[in-house]
Amino acid sequence: MSETPEITCFSLYEEINAEQNVAAVTTQISTHYLFNWSITAIPIEGGDFELYLNSECTDSDAPGNLKNQLEGKFNISVANVLPNVSGELEVGSTRIYEKVPREVLTNKTTNIFLYLFVEKSMGQKVPLKKDHPMKLSIGGKKFEVSKTTIEKCFSRLKRDFELSSETPMSSGSSPFFYERDPKHFQLILNFMRDGNVILPQNSIELKEILEEAKFYILQELVKLCEETLERKAHEIPFGLVNLNVGGTVFQTTKATLTRFDGMFKTMLDNGITVKINEIDTLFIDRSPKHFDLILNFMRDGNVEFPENSREIREIRREAQYYLLGGLVEACEQFLVAVDVSDF
C-alpha cells in the first residue's frame, strides 16, 4: 500500500447551487494510479444528499480483468461537521455518506478532503518501485537483469550479489564477470524470470544447458533438464536415420529400425549415432548387397527371398549379424523348403 496517501481537497458548492437540487451532480476531483476519481451528490428526501465516491479506469482499451483490479483504502472528511468515513476501494461507485445536510455542501467554506491509500492498481502493486538493471558480463558478452529477477530464487547470482561489497547497478560500477560461454545465458535468465522455460529438443544442447544450470546453482532448472533428457532417452524416436553400409547410404526412419529387437534397436536406444546435418547417421562395416532386403523385412515383417540357396545363406548370415531373429528363422525355413524340393 502507498505509504503516503494522495490527498485531494475540493468543494461541491458551485455544482450543487447550479443544479438547484434538481438532479445529481458529479465533480471530477483527481486522476491517480490510472483511475479517474469523482464524487457524486444525489438529492434525497428533505433536500439533503447522499455522497458516492466513484473510480473509473483511465484506459478504456485496457483488458477488462485489469480495469477491474483496484485495491486499497480511502478516508474522507467533510470539513469538521461530519465524522470521517473510511472503507475499501472499489471500481465503480461506493456510497460514503447516507445523509449530508444541504447547508453543509452549499456553504462556501465547506472543504471535503479525500485520502487515497492505493495498494494495487490494474494488477500492479503501488507504488511501483524503480528496478535498476544489474550488469553482468558472461564470457565478455554484456547482459542486464533486474534485482527483482535475481531475488526470485536462489542461484549463484543471488548469492554473489548478496555477498558483494559493490552492487553492479550504478553507471560507473563494473559488471559482475563470469568466465562462461554466453550461448545459453539468455535461457538461464528467462528461467529465473518465469520459473519455467521451453527447452530445445537437441540432446547436445540440453546437456550444455544442464551444465550451465549446475554452474549457476539453479536446482529447478537442473531437475527440468535431467527429466527432459531422461524422457528423451526412453521415447521411441521417429526421425530420419542415414545408414552407411559398406559405403552405400540407405535412409529410413527410427521407427523402422526399432520395430524389432536387434542390433539397430539397441544402438538407437543407447544413442549410438552421429549427427550429420541434423540427421542421425550410423556406419555399418558390412556388405550392402542384401541390405535392401534387410530393411524391407524391418518395414513389413516379411520379404520375398531369391531362389538361390547360396544367396539365402548370405542373407541369413547378415540377419545373424544384425540380430534379427525373425529373419534368421525365415531364412532357415526357406532353406529347408528349398532342400526338400531338390529331392
Hey, what CATH class is 6-125 in? mainly beta
Q: Please tell me the distance from the alpha carbon of residue 299 to that of residue 314, in angstroms, as a whole number.
A: 20
Answer for the pair 239, 254: CB distance below 8 angstroms, yes or no.
Answer: yes
Q: What is the pLDDT of residue 235?
A: 59
Mean of pLDDT values over 177-187: 95
Rounded alpha-carbon distances, angstroms, from residue 203 to 96, 207, 224, 273: 64, 6, 13, 12
Mean of pLDDT values over 129-146: 85
Answer for the pair 300, 234: CB distance below 8 angstroms, yes or no.
Answer: no
Contacts 24+ apart (CB under 8 A), 220-225: 220/153, 220/191, 220/195, 221/188, 221/191, 221/197, 224/196, 224/197, 224/199, 225/199
What pLDDT band is residue 329 in, cutting at 50, 70 and 90?
very high
Rounded alpha-carbon distances, angstroms, from residue 52 to 10, 80, 81, 85: 14, 19, 18, 12
Q: Please tell me the distance from the alpha carbon of residue 161 to that of residue 39, in angstroms, as a whole number.
A: 49
Q: What is the pLDDT of residue 168?
A: 53
What pLDDT band is residue 165 in, cutting at 50, 70 and 90?
low
What pLDDT band is residue 126 in, cutting at 50, 70 and 90?
confident
What pLDDT band is residue 139 in, cutting at 50, 70 and 90?
very high
- What burial class does residue 96 get, using C-beta atoms within 10 Å of its C-beta: 0-12 exposed, 13-18 middle, 19+ buried? buried
Q: What is the pLDDT of residue 205?
A: 93
Q: How many CA atoms, within 13 angstroms, populate the side-chain half-sphere of residue 198? A: 0
Query: Is this prediction's pTM over 0.85?
Result: no
Answer for the pair 305, 335: CB distance below 8 angstroms, yes or no.
Answer: no
Q: What is the pLDDT of residue 7?
A: 83
Report the percent of the chain where pLDDT is more than 90.
Answer: 43
Helix H or strand E segment including 15: helix 13-19
Mean of pLDDT values over 84-95: 93
Least confident of 148-157, 192-201, 263-272: 263-272
Mean of pLDDT values over 312-339: 91
230-283 pLDDT per residue, tens: 887 765 455 788 889 999 999 998 889 888 999 988 887 776 665 544 566 788
What is the average pLDDT value for the chain, to the nearest integer?
85
Answer for the pair 118, 125: CB distance below 8 angstroms, yes or no.
Answer: no
Q: What is the pLDDT of residue 128?
A: 58
Q: Please tell me the distance from the alpha carbon of residue 301 to that of residue 77, in angstroms, as a whole number.
A: 89
Please check the confidence at residue 340 and state whether its pLDDT lies above 50.
no
Answer for the pair 297, 327: CB distance below 8 angstroms, yes or no.
Answer: yes
8-62 pLDDT per residue, tens: 888 888 888 775 656 788 999 888 888 999 999 999 988 899 999 999 998 888 8
Question: Do 133-234 and 240-341 agree at the fold level?
Answer: yes
Residues with Cβ < 8 Å from 335, sequence gap 6 or more? 309, 312, 313, 316
Task: Select 240-341's CATH number: 3.30.1600.10, 3.30.710.10, 3.30.420.40, 3.90.70.10.
Answer: 3.30.710.10
Q: Please tell me the distance from the alpha carbon of residue 264 to that of residue 254, in angstroms, as a whole number.
A: 9
Mean of pLDDT values over 75-102: 89
Looking at residue 236, the DSSP 8-state letter turns out to be P
Task: Select 133-234's CATH number: 3.30.365.10, 3.30.1370.60, 3.40.50.2300, 3.30.710.10.
Answer: 3.30.710.10
What pLDDT band is residue 202 in, cutting at 50, 70 and 90?
confident
β-pair partners for 31: 36
- Spell out the domain ranges in the chain: 6-125, 133-234, 240-341
Please check the confidence at residue 71 and state whether its pLDDT lies above 70.
yes
